[in-house]
A and B are shown apart, each in its own frame.
Chain A
Amino acid sequence: MSDKPKFAMYWAASCGGCEIAVLNIHEKILDVDANFDIAFWPVAMDAKYKDVEAMEDGSILLTLFNGGIRTEENEHLAKLLRKKSQILVAFGSCAVEGGNPGLANFSTKDQIFETVYSTVSTENPDGVYPQPSFEMPEGTITIPVFEPVLRTLDQVVDVDYYMPGCPPESHQIEAVIDLVIQVLEGKAELPPKGATIGVGPSTCCDECTRTRNVKKIKEFRRIQLVDDIDPDLCLLEQGILCVGPATASGCGAKCPTAGAPCIGCYGPAAGVVDFGARMMTAVASVIDSRDPDEIDRILDGIVDPAGTFYKFNLAHSLLRTGNATWNGK
């Protein structure tokens, strides 16, 4: 093997989009190849866990870890890669704040299994449920244990940097790769440990080109039920619950520009502890009524508050369904 620094990427509880996003940086991927040895990247090349286990501690320079920690296997790999890596990046919303899979923290493990293995849409006549270990004539086979809650990467191991996005935008990934290469060449310095990278200093509205007025909201409407969207006016002002005001900038306001509300994948702005709470207080502040009944009626227009305000960040929120319930073994 060459003496190029080593790069790793791993996929825990996530959809795989982050992996595609890294591949989606086009010719920049050649820079990665030119500057790094790919030590471990199951999506791109074959490798065995035991190869990683055999590596010297700290021998991987940079690991991009995507996905939350849902199973024992996820946890094992998180701890392993932490040990072997100098720089561990929580890459993408799931690793940073739990992401969509984190919404499962509203349900218990039993409820989740029940939904997956026995509801009407499931064909499971024998009522088979996954067992962590099973005796076969050939011997015992095991699958990783499904843990009680989904945890974010930093609830399990120490994390050096956070890079949100579902998935992170190509230009931000490119910028981060450029930065690391420059650091390798001694031309730049790493940001302080714990920093969130690949984001802008403000929130999505900052990059959004829609016109804005003083906010006053009289009703909430689901976008699929609206056919008269003003293409130039702020969506929130049109009653479409865009969470752009609370979402870190950096994506270029892709969704609102295309006419869809921001769903918050870039996570909270710097210094904000609980994204959902922030956005809820903001929304509550601009409901345009002083009549309690009308306020109730307006708020009833938000049909899925949990999925709206905590779509990506439930596992990292201040709610009890966040990290508090279960702190691992």
Chain B
Amino acid sequence: MAENKERIGVYVCHCGTNIAGVVDVEEVARWAKENLGDQGVVISKDYKFMCSSLGQDMIQADIQKEGLTRVVVAACSPHLHEKTFRVAAERAGLNPYLTELASIREQVSWVHKDKVVATEKSKAVVAGAVSRVVMHEPLEPIIVPIAEPTLVVGGGIAGIQAALEIANAGHPVYLVEREPSIGGHMAQFDKTFPTLDCSACILTPRMSEAGTHPNITLLTYAEVEQVDGFVGNFDVTIRQKARCVDTDACTGCGICEQKCPKKVIDDVFEVGLGYRKAIYTPFDQAVPKYPVIDRENCTYFEKGTCRVCEKFCPTDAINFEQEDEIIEINVGNIILATGYDLFDARRIPQYGYGRLANVFTSLEFERMTNAAGPTSGDILLRDGKTVPKSVGIIHCVGSRDRNYNNYCSAICCMQSLKFAHLVDERTSATVYNFYIDMRTPAKDYDEFYQRVLDEGTLFVRGKVAEVTDAARISGEEGKLIVQVEDTLAGKQRRIPLDMVILSAALEPRHDAYETAHKFGIACSANGWFTEKHPKLDPVATMTEGIFIAGAATGPKDIPASVSQGSAAAARVLSYIERGELALEPVRAMINQEQCSGCRICNDLCPYNAILFHEDQMVSEINQALCQGCGTCVAACPAGAITGTVFSDKQVFAQIDGLLFLEKSALVPEMA
């Protein structure tokens, strides 16, 4: 390493007292100058805030005056400021990838207290960065053009919002929805908290706008099968399931649905509380208005006779021969807004759902309160006749519970308060809320809580142990008894009730992991889609060109889902406006001669960037798809894959550098 021609500048940041409070930064800078000269260090300085414009100016001036060929900044984590210093280097005419950010904040000052140890460790980290930066190679960004159309997957409120924003800006959108109609969960509700405006009244105008918008191609009863390509140029294969209804002829008159003799329990929209026909639209305001034949339950498809709908259809729109259609589209960006599933309350057997008739889930209750629902909005027990005299609402069912989901489902407190209000409004029943903590943080939410308190709803703070029909004392016969520890009163209580509603958790879609894999994004440990940055980039993902919005990213209310829909649309619009995108050239590459075609790497890439050439038996990485995560680099047993910026050479050089102190025996005992 002695014949090094590089001229390296080292800059040690104080980060105010963030670093300087624990690390002797002047000493680190001095030491680097004195000891790392052999490696090529010609300048070493410390400064209060390297990321400030003055700090950046200092680097730029040195690059130009001193002819620096590499730059090491010892400061915070690369996640934070790697880009800042790359751009600074670039402004001074140095290739941005000839820089290295050594983390002496997250990895040193924030995790150590002993100043001597922290200072010595900082030296080691700097020495590692210096040996590593020598191995860096200049890289050029990869420029890709952005196709104008956008794909939005999921036609809930988040997806509808995103589609409308982009369409209104004048760009084509494909909106793909799995169910026969768009609308998502919001279409199932009667009233929405905290304003109690009618869900359908605010949702249906949006739905029909999406349905008729000249820039939106609506594909309902359809699903994405395959996604190839990369940002700016995704080839998407969509399966349009056969509706068995010719949409050009159908006027949506609904006669077929009236006449169809086959009743089916509606497990989706009515969550099992009501029936639909074998030919159906999920609800009256469905968009599009065209029905679908559920081929699994249609008598004709089961037994070969019936065709009643066909007989009565005034426009001959029924077509039993229709087949699934494969649609191929090319889009520049994709927004995933696939929403959530409701926690299956059967998983908590002690709450009795599925066993005790008058235990309902939150979505069942939503349908019950809906004027267009199975009880026409009346709150009734399972017998369909009796109005309850007492109702209990249990919060956090499947949320904040280490046996199911640790997280808070965010909407259940408000939704439970909404239910309490609706019961109060429509019946004379006594209402109990069983809660662990009350969480009402958003605009007008706590005011709503106050209102429900004023309405006389009773609140019991404690986690419900059990819901049972086993009466022990008089007054309990024929009732559901809620056993709960009232933690405010400090005693166990048994409260007999007519009806119990379980405010079930929001969970990731049952197929969220497969969806994520299909689109090359990641899921959190809980299964929600992972954002690029939880705070600063909540609707982008680590895969360029794939954005996420709504409850698919985690439990959320409607305002937050809508905001995310708009935010994702804004991100897409900025890409469309620019017309092209410069991708970071941090990529992995396979040496074709070294690749044995063992296929170890084939299924590992979180971005689906690796393809296998069956004919030549070698694997290849799509350069635009690869995000340089390094997964395959580590996995390839043949060492055939090299990651730019993370090559073995670079990593081993860094390790050698880190051990530099140990080799020169300067290091004190690290306690």
Cβ of B202 under 8 Å from chain A: no
Total A-B residue contacts, Cβ distance less than 8 Å: 83
Indicate with 1 or 0, residue by residue over A277-304, a CB within 8 angstroms of chain B CB atoms. 0110110011000000000000000000
Query: With the chains together, A44 CA to B602 CA distance in Å?
Result: 49
Alpha-carbon gap, A245 to B602, bound state (A): 13
8 A Cβ contacts from A191-206 to B: 201-206
Look across to chain B and name the residue whose beta carbon is closest to the beta carbon of A249: B596
Closest 3 A/B residue pairs (Cβ): A246-B637, A206-B596, A282-B637
Q: How far is the CA of A204 from the CA of B597 in the complex (A)?
A: 10
- Contact: B639 with A271, CB < 8 Å? yes
CB of B603 within 8 Å of the partner chain? yes
In the complex, 16 of the A-B residue pairs with CB atoms within 8 angstroms, ordered by the A residue number, are: A201-B594, A203-B637, A204-B596, A213-B599, A214-B602, A214-B612, A215-B602, A245-B638, A246-B637, A272-B638, A272-B639, A279-B637, A281-B635, A285-B600, A285-B601, A285-B634
Any B CB within 8 A of the CB of A270:
yes
**Which of chain A's residues have a CB closer than 8 A to the CB of B595?**
202, 206
CA distance A226 to B596 in the complex (A): 26
Nearest-neighbour CB distance to chain B for A210, whole angstroms, equals: 11
A246 near B638 (CB under 8 angstroms)? yes
Contacts of B635 in A (CB 8 A): 281-282, 285-286
A216 at the interface (CB under 8 A from B): yes
Main secondary structure of the interface of B (DSSP, over half): loop
Given A204-B596, A214-B612, A270-B639, 19 further pairs, Cβ under 8 A: A201-B594, A202-B595, A203-B638, A205-B597, A205-B598, A206-B595, A214-B603, A215-B603, A244-B596, A244-B598, A246-B638, A268-B639, A269-B594, A269-B638, A269-B640, A270-B594, A281-B634, A281-B635, A282-B635
A281 to B641, CA, bound (A): 14
> Does B639 lie within 8 Å of A269, measured CB to CB?
yes
Does B648 contact A271, Cβ atoms closer than 8 Å? yes
User: 1/0 per position for B594-627, CB-CB distance to A under 8 A?
Assistant: 1111111111100000001000010000000000
Q: Report A-chain residues with C-beta under 8 Å of the C-beta of B631.
A: 285
Q: Indicate the member of A202, A270, A278 with the most B CB atoms within 10 Å.
A: A202
Complexed CA–CA distance, A270 and B638 (Å)? 8
The reply on B15 being an interface residue by CB < 8 A is: no
Determine if A273 is an interface residue (Cβ-Cβ < 8 Å): yes
Interface residues in A52-88 by Cβ distance below 8 A to B read none
Shortest distance between the CB of B40 and any CB in chain A (Å)? 24
CB within 8 A of B596: which of A245, A279, A285, A286?
A: A245
Which residues of chain A are near B604, meaning CB under 8 Å?
Answer: 285-286
The size class of the interface chain A forms with chain B is 20 to 34
Residue A171 interfacial (CB < 8 Å): no
| B648 and A202 within 8 A (CB) | no
Instruction: Give the residues in chain B near A269, CB-CB below 8 Å.
Output: 594, 637-640
Give the docked Cα–Cα distance between A282 and B648 (Å).
16
Residue numbers of A with Cβ under 8 A of B are 201-206, 212-216, 236, 243-246, 249, 268-273, 278-279, 281-282, 285-286
Chain A residues with CB under 8 Å of B601's CB are 285
Determine whether the beta carbon of A215 is less than 8 Å from that of B598: yes
Say yes or no: A278 contacts B639, CB within 8 Å: yes
Judge whether B636 is part of the interface by a CB distance below 8 angstroms: yes
Q: Of A202, A213, A286, which is within 8 A of B638 by CB?
A: A202
Which residue of chain A has its CB nearest to the CB of B610?
A214
* Complex interface: chain A residues within 8 A of B599 (CB): 212-215
What string of 1s and 0s marks CB contacts (under 8 Å) between B575-600 and chain A?
00000000000000000011111111
The residue of chain B having its C-beta at the shortest distance from the C-beta of A213 within the complex is: B599
B652 is an interface residue with CB less than 8 A from chain A: yes
Given the complex, which residues of B lie within 8 Å of A214, measured CB to CB?
599, 602-603, 612
Most B CB within 10 A of own CB, among A214, A243, A268? A214
Question: How far is A285 from B606 in the complex, measured between Cα atoms in Å?
Answer: 12
Residue numbers in B under 8 Å from A281 (CB-CB): 634-635, 637
Contact A286–B639 (Cβ < 8 Å): no
Residues of B within 8 A of A215 (CB): 598-600, 602-603
B652 near A273 with CB under 8 A, answer: yes
- Would you give the shortest CB distance from A146 to chain B, in whole angstroms? 30
Find chain A residues with CB under 8 A from B603 CB. Answer: 214-216, 286
